[in-house]
Amino acid sequence: MDESRHGLHTGKLILRVFLAYYLVCLFMLGWLLWPFLSTIVVAATVTGTFNPLYRMLNRKLPSVAASPVTCGVVFLLLFIPIVSLVGIPGIIFGPLVVTGFLTLTDIYHASYQNLVEPSKT
């Protein structure tokens, strides 16, 4: 009877150690993936949004053709407009920010000054 009790106690200890290691590994995985959480959420949203288009194309085309067509549509509808909207201020203010002559605070104050006190020219 003492041996069965000893085996039961050892089994509980092994389970507790395993759960402790598991929780530590889960915490470390979360810590590793935390910076990428917004990217993962955006990727899941884009995938869910364009999955019906891929399924429709996959019925008419083979998978080898439907996948690049879907990627091209995503590129045209999402990537190009976002890059062009972000790229325009980068082209205008980029060289000044890189050289250190202009900071984001300066850009904000300059735009705020134009709203409050319009130039007389």
Confidence class of residue 21 from pLDDT cuts 50, 70 and 90?
very high
Give the mean pLDDT of 8-31: 91
pLDDT at 26 over 60: yes
For residues 33 and 27, give the distance between their C-alpha atoms in angstroms, rounded to a whole number: 10
pLDDT at 4: 58
Share of the chain above pLDDT 90, in %: 48
**In sequence order, what are the residues at sequence separation of 6 or more whose Cβ sits closer than 8 angstroms to the Cβ of residue 50?**
70, 73, 74
Pick the residue with more confidence: 115 or 75?
Answer: 75
Give the mean pLDDT of 31-47: 92
pLDDT at 16 over 70: yes
